[in-house]
Structure formats: structure tokens, C-alpha cells
Amino acid sequence: MQTNNRIYGLDSLRAIAMLLGIVLHAIIAYKVYPNEGWPSDDQLHAYGFDALYLFIHSFRMQLFFLVAGFFARMLYLKIGERAFFKHRYKRIVVPFIASMIFILPLSIAPFVYFQHCIAAGVPPAERSQVFWQHFLRWNGMAHLWFLYYLILYYVVMLVVYRFKMSGGAKTFTNTLTRNYGSPLHVIVYILILAAIQIALFRTAEVEVSTSIFPKPGHFTYYGFFFLLGVVLHRQSGRLFELARYTWLYLAAGLALTVVAFKLLVLGHENVAALSGLALIGVKLVVAAQTVFLTYGFIGFFLKYMNVQNGTIKYISDASFWLYLVHLSIVGAMQIVFLDTSVPGWLRPLGVLTVTTLIAMGTYQWFVRYSFIGTALHGPRDRAVKKRECRVDSLQSSNLCK
């Protein structure tokens, strides 16, 4: 059953998934086990950041692709193939190409400088030459990989709808929708996801790939969540049944996060040596953690955040821009703090605060009402905003915040 009504809870969820990416990247430098290629600040390393990273990373992009699949099918059925293509080209393809040209170089610059100059111990006098030597090479798509994959999933979806689904594909999607809304269908998803991780990944955790050539494992893994979003829309008439199990799924996901933390972080030195049934068991834990948290947060936002709210709408509009531009600021600030007297415990907060202020400021002053904002989220009219504010003064709404 198709629904044409706006589902504000999923809109908010998509924005939160974007914004959590900023938090995720802001804390990497302060983990006990920082990610390869990222700044590492010896003034502060705490397991709490590893735990927070593990928690957010386990569901954030999975949620994004699931919600993207949901809205992709909704839009396709609402406006048709040709209009869908034009809409997605303007809102996703054009921002992706522009970001690759104008934002990507700024995003990778701090990380190239840290990895090849600071971490490599290059003397200050020689850093400029070394930096440009590595900067002018291909260094991957950084955080823009998600747009690249999203475009590819749109292409696959259009091809499937153009040529119709085969009998095998229909059987598979029917399996995904059977017993929809109950814990049983979540168990099925866990088993499928675990099978993908067991078959296509050597490690227990699923990191991202920023290569221009999609890796089969990553493409299949995140594509599975995009497919779940399409399936979710096919069952949109029963969508809110998920909310019945919100706290069950969240409790299970949080409990498994604790288990995953003990296995992957506290047992970091041993997990790389795992093989056979032990590695399969860890992958099953990770898959279950991901699915339970994903569906738990979907239920939470449908149950408690499915309302129209001016402040949330503004943040939702801004989230795309904030995510596009944040990485260069995060990386630069993490490096700047390396040689300051700022207490270690204040540094992640400082990185997050400065990044948010700069990104939100540029959005409000230069993006929201410009051609860039139109490309990212559609036109926003200042005159309409002023009228909303006059209504706000009478109705005490929060549209002007």
C-alpha cells in the first residue's frame, strides 16, 4: 500500500543519521584505537569514544540507506520514472558532482597533511612539498562515497522497475515482507545480513569503501538496507507496527552493543586472529546489533517524532549541507588542537562546537536561500519565512527558531 502523506518521523530520522556522522568523525581522533589515516591526539584517548563510535557506526549509514530506499519507492510511484530521474539528478547527482569538485579537495587536505607530514615526522620546512605531492593524487571520495552508492542504487532500482522483477527476485522480496512488523521478520533480516557479512567480509566490522570502484561486499551490504527501505514502503500500510516493538529492539541492540564492545574494542588485540566459528559468531553479534538498533530507532522516531515541527524541519534542511562540509573543519580542528594547551577532555567538544557553528553559519547565510539550497532541498522563500514568523507570534509555534 502506498502512502502519499509525509512521514515526518522518517524525515527526522534521515537528518539525524546525517548529523550523527559529524559526531562520529569528531571523536575518532580521541579513540583508544583511532581509524587509520585520521589524526590521533595523544592528549586524550578514552574507551568511551570507542564505545560511542561503535554504537553510532553500527546503525547510522544503514539507517540512511534504508530510509533512502523507502523515500525512493515513494517518490517513484508518486511522480513516475522520468520525473523521478530528473528529481534525483537535481538533488543527488548535481550535488555529488559539485561536491567532488569543490568540497572533496578541502575535505581530504587535513588528513593528507596529518598522515604524510605530521605522522610521518616530516620536518616543517619540507611539509609543503610533501603535502602537495600526496594531495594531488587520488585519495578516494572521503565521506562522499554515500552519495555515489546512492546514485548506483537508484540506477539499479530504475533498471529493475523498467524490466520488472524476475520470479526469484519476487520470491526474495516476498520473504522479506512475510510476517512484517513482528520480531520474526527482524530475525530473518539478521540471518540474511550475517550471511552477507560472513560471505563477503574478512573482518567482523563493516567499514566503508571510498574507492571509485565499489567493492562487491560493501555494495551488497548497504544495498541490502536500501532494499529493506523499498520493502518497508511496500508495507507502509503496516509501517507503524514497528513502533510496537521499539523498546524491545532498542534494548536488544544496546545489550549487543555492550557485547560487541567487549569483543571488538576490549578484545581488539585478539579479534584480528579470530577464524572459523568464533569469527562467524562475532559477525552474527554485529549483524544482530545493527538490525535491532536500525529497527529500534525507526520505531522510536515513528512513535515519538512523527510530528510536523519547524525547528526539526530547519535542521532536516540543513543536515545535507552540514554533512557535506563538516569533514574539512573536523580534520583541521583536530590537527589545530594538537599543538595547543587546551585540555584533552575539552578537545572533542571544541571540534564539534566549532564545526557546527561554521557549518550552520554558512548554511544560514550563504546556502539556505541560494541556488545551492535549492539544489540540496528545494527552494526556501524568505518572504514565506517572515509570514510564518508573524503567525508564530500569534500561535506560539516554533517555526521561527
| DSSP string for 1-54 | ----S--HHHHHHHHHHHHHHHHHHHHGGGSSSPPTTS---TT---HHHHHHHH
pLDDT digits (tens, 9 = 90+) for 206-221: 988 999 999 999 999 9
- Long-range contacts of range 122-130, CB-CB < 8 Å, 24 or more positions apart? none
Rounded distance, CA 286 to CA 21, Å?
19
- The larger pLDDT score, comparing residue 148 to residue 203, is at 148
Q: How confident is the model at residue 240 (pLDDT cuts 50, 70, 90)?
A: confident
Q: Are residues 193 and 290 in contact, defined by beta-carbon separation less than 8 angstroms?
A: yes
Per-residue model confidence (pLDDT) at position 381: 84
The pLDDT of residue 344 is above 70: yes
| Domain chopping of the chain, boundaries | 8-395
The pLDDT of residue 273 is above 80: no
Rounded distance, CA 242 to CA 249, Å?
10
Q: Are residues 109 and 127 in contact, defined by beta-carbon separation less than 8 angstroms?
A: no
Of all residues in the chain, the percent with pLDDT exceeding 90 is 75
Would you state the cell numbers that stand for residue 338, as one nine-digit string?
Answer: 594538537
Q: How confident is the model at residue 393 (pLDDT cuts 50, 70, 90)?
A: very low
Per-residue model confidence (pLDDT) at position 98: 97
The pLDDT of residue 1 is above 70: no
Rounded distance, CA 43 to CA 24, Å?
19
Per-residue model confidence (pLDDT) at position 391: 47
Per-residue model confidence (pLDDT) at position 275: 81
- The larger pLDDT score, comparing residue 188 to residue 172, is at 188
pLDDT, averaged across the chain: 90
pLDDT digits (tens, 9 = 90+) for 278-317: 899 999 999 999 999 999 999 999 999 998 889 999 999 9
Range name among 57-71, 98-112, 272-286, 293-307 with the lowest pLDDT average: 272-286
Q: How confident is the model at residue 347 (pLDDT cuts 50, 70, 90)?
A: very high
pTM recorded for the entire structure:
0.91
Per-residue model confidence (pLDDT) at position 175: 61
Q: How confident is the model at residue 193 (pLDDT cuts 50, 70, 90)?
A: very high
The pLDDT of residue 265 is above 60: yes
